[in-house]
Chain A
């Protein structure tokens, strides 16, 4: 396993990119720590797969360099990089048995015969397919096929990283959960560097130590699930993570007070001078509805009951907001929204304004 470093990596699919928008992946420098479990999260077309293919060498970046444990591999081919990848749709060699599938990458690398059979047996045990070892791979179910794909990576003990490109897309919901916990278990046991692409936030948050959120070819935030929840660095992260997403309300700011349609909200920070647009971001979980005298008056549009709590959609100074309401509590007759001051964020031009020092 290896530490993977990106040094000003960028990529454009067109031959002669001119503007920033021509890049499918905008300039990016970051480090993927050895043994880390990363989730790469973002909507379709945000550059997740491009980034993954740059790591595996299926794609050579237009600019910048990539290093494995300090060694520059930018120009190396996929074969030479020793990476494993599991694709969205299970890729198996139809005509081979499960055992032959697992032996294939070793055979291609000229590993000795008894070494191959030792490692294949071990891998079969790890992925729980011992009983089906001599069955034709084609006849297995989608989740078993995906396990074979994974197994072809695990069988090589020296892979630098295992990449997953939305591997659970075609798996039945009840098997998804099992496969996910299997992956987590394997990661804890073998501590391989793992990068997992998904557009499903539950998948990303339950699975990874670090979540990398991408938006329009750019990494907008890298952090633990908790950081993404409390301090989204970009309004997109706020929308994208959480259900429902963060409320983003345009405002005017003077000093450390925001004014939303004439209502004052205290802010942790002041606004930067050159900001073109300013917004307050607050998660539904941090809004309380009270019948008291403090808070901003809202009018309720509708209430969704989703079991553990209710989601209230209300109108606040002409903008719809969502707030969660704990089970059993009443909706006040003249509701007012109170924002938890510790969890109010200010966004200038969509990016979080952070307190200095």
Chain B
């Protein structure tokens, strides 16, 4: 076959190129640019090399918010993944209740982030919020605007409320794809309920659960709006996770260099964890 060479065809790629440039490459490069420069206003910049990176990596503030970030992500994963699987297992496999359950499960996912934050803020208020008031009525002193423990509890339960559904829906899809013959074979082999879960359901859900963990990891690592609206990182700095700290540095204190260096470290971390996790899971798949 004869191929026609026409370099004008490159113009066809231009729209995509522009789109990617404007929504990814240029913003990212701006951040890279900021991360190696210092400014004193008036749009005057001086090259500083890796100074900001060194500073960020050695700052206690960054270490603390990173630690809080891992605590948050770890906790919500430890709750949402098993809880999601349990709910998916309990959901009916057929009949009238299937669509009802699915719609109920999908509801929290449809609520915008800032609304979720505002909702839980009011819900958890000790004087007028139903949850806050009820907990105090049980004799437990609960005030998320003053007590770090209460604030953490509220942030985590909010995220669990908002995102467990995603895990449920993914796990449910995985469960539904298991042919009946597997369950029948398990009965013929006298497998216990636990054995059915361990040797049939869990292996068959592995792929979707990998995706669920990845999505929840990335989302929780980048989460900003909900905790910002709920606690604003407080009381003090006790719920200041990476993203909130980053915005504080960039827009609150106008430390562009520090904030940009933080962004890049933050970005690379997310990328690294996802890559390591994904390739580990996929290698297990091939063995």
Q: Which A residues form the contact surface with B (CB < 8 A)?
A: 53, 56, 58, 77-79, 83-85, 87-89, 91, 93-96, 104-105, 108-109, 136, 149, 152-153
Expressed in whole angstroms, the Cα–Cα distance for A79 and B188 within the complex equals: 6
Expressed in whole angstroms, the Cα–Cα distance for A11 and B185 within the complex equals: 22
Point out the residues of chain B lying under 8 angstroms from A84, CB to CB: 188
When C-beta atoms are compared, the residue in chain A nearest to B182 turns out to be: A91
Asked if B195 is at the interface (CB within 8 A of a chain A CB), the reply is yes
Asked if B179 is at the interface (CB within 8 A of a chain A CB), the reply is yes
* Contact B199 A104, beta carbon cutoff 8 Å: yes
CB-contacts of B167-194 with A (<8 A): 179, 181-182, 184-185, 187-192
Point out the residues of chain B lying under 8 angstroms from A152, CB to CB: 185, 189
Point out the residues of chain A lying under 8 angstroms from B192, CB to CB: 108
Point out the residues of chain B lying under 8 angstroms from A56, CB to CB: 184, 188
Asked if B200 is at the interface (CB within 8 A of a chain A CB), the reply is yes
Point out the residues of chain A lying under 8 angstroms from B184, CB to CB: 53, 56, 58, 78, 85, 87, 91
Asked if B112 is at the interface (CB within 8 A of a chain A CB), the reply is no
Expressed in whole angstroms, the Cα–Cα distance for A77 and B203 within the complex equals: 26
* Contact B179 A93, beta carbon cutoff 8 Å: no
* Contact B189 A104, beta carbon cutoff 8 Å: yes
Expressed in whole angstroms, the Cα–Cα distance for A53 and B203 within the complex equals: 26
Interface size on B, as a range, is: 10 to 19
* Contact B181 A88, beta carbon cutoff 8 Å: yes
Expressed in whole angstroms, the Cα–Cα distance for A295 and B204 within the complex equals: 65
A-B contact pairs, 18 of them (CB 8 A): A78-B188, A79-B190, A83-B188, A85-B188, A87-B181, A87-B185, A88-B181, A91-B179, A91-B182, A91-B184, A93-B203, A104-B189, A104-B195, A108-B190, A108-B191, A108-B195, A109-B190, A136-B287
For B182, B187, B200, B203, the residue with the greatest tally of chain A CB atoms inside 10 Å of its CB is B187
* Contact B287 A91, beta carbon cutoff 8 Å: no
Expressed in whole angstroms, the Cα–Cα distance for A78 and B188 within the complex equals: 6
Expressed in whole angstroms, the Cα–Cα distance for A109 and B191 within the complex equals: 8
Q: Which B residues form the contact surface with A (CB < 8 A)?
A: 179, 181-182, 184-185, 187-192, 195, 199-200, 203-204, 287
For A53, A93, A94, A95, the residue with the greatest tally of chain B CB atoms inside 10 Å of its CB is A93
When C-beta atoms are compared, the residue in chain A nearest to B184 turns out to be: A58
Known: A94-B204, A96-B199, A108-B191; 14 extra A-B contacts, CB below 8 A, are: A79-B187, A79-B188, A85-B184, A85-B185, A87-B181, A87-B184, A87-B185, A91-B179, A91-B181, A91-B185, A105-B188, A105-B189, A109-B190, A153-B188
Expressed in whole angstroms, the Cα–Cα distance for A1 and B203 within the complex equals: 34
Expressed in whole angstroms, the Cα–Cα distance for A87 and B181 within the complex equals: 7
Point out the residues of chain B lying under 8 angstroms from A93, CB to CB: 199-200, 203
Point out the residues of chain B lying under 8 angstroms from A87, CB to CB: 181, 184-185
Minimal beta-carbon separation of B119 from chain A (angstroms): 42
The 8 lowest CB-CB distance pairs between A and B, nearest first, are A105-B189, A91-B185, A87-B181, A108-B190, A78-B187, A79-B190, A93-B199, A94-B203
Expressed in whole angstroms, the Cα–Cα distance for A280 and B162 within the complex equals: 72
Point out the residues of chain B lying under 8 angstroms from A78, CB to CB: 184, 187-188
Point out the residues of chain A lying under 8 angstroms from B179, CB to CB: 89, 91
Expressed in whole angstroms, the Cα–Cα distance for A94 and B187 within the complex equals: 17
Expressed in whole angstroms, the Cα–Cα distance for A260 and B97 within the complex equals: 60
Point out the residues of chain B lying under 8 angstroms from A83, CB to CB: 188
Expressed in whole angstroms, the Cα–Cα distance for A149 and B195 within the complex equals: 17
